[in-house]
């Protein structure tokens, strides 16, 4: 297993732990979101490295979403929500990592 997948597994585990802790503290809806997000990243990690079609479009969409997640994390940290800010930033970093790990044959918009 390469280091990128190890980072992805560790980040997913952090999100699951933050989700469980948040549910334990009584914020059920926010905790469930982090738990589900961690499980989604774990399920995606097994498919990385396989060639897919339309990789350029998918990379761009994931990259934009990851930047938005990082922005939300910075905003939450600015307003003093430490746990939520860290969780958003971890999700954004995992999104960036997934965007850089996508490989494919050709993009949809590439000339034939």
pLDDT digits (tens, 9 = 90+) for 48-101: 666 666 667 777 878 888 898 899 889 989 988 888 888 889 888 988 888 887
CB 83 within 8 A of CB 22: yes
The residues, any chain, with a CB within 8 Å of residue 48's CB and separated by 6 or more, are 4, 5, 8, 98, 101, 102
Decide if 29 is inside a domain: yes
Show the domain range for 13: 3-104
Q: How far is CA 103 from CA 7, 22, 64, 67, in A?
A: 18, 35, 17, 20
The whole model's pTM is what?
0.67
Adjacent-strand bridge partners of 103: 51
- When divided into structural domains, the chain yields a total of 1
- Is pLDDT at 110 greater than 80 in this prediction? no
């Amino acid at each position: 297993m390469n280091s990128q997948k190890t980072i992805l597994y560790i980040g997913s585990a952090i999100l699951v732990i933050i989700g469980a802790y948040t549910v334990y503290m009584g914020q059920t809806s926010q905790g469930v979101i982090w738990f589900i997000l961690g499980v989604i990243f774990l399920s995606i990690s097994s498919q990385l490295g396989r060639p897919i079609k339309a990789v350029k479009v998918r990379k761009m969409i994931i990259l934009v979403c990851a930047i938005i997640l990082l922005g939300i994390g910075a905003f939450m940290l600015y307003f003093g929500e430490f746990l939520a800010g860290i969780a958003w930033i971890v999700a954004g970093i995992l999104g960036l990592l997934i965007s850089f790990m996508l490989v494919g044959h050709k993009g949809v918009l590439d000339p034939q």
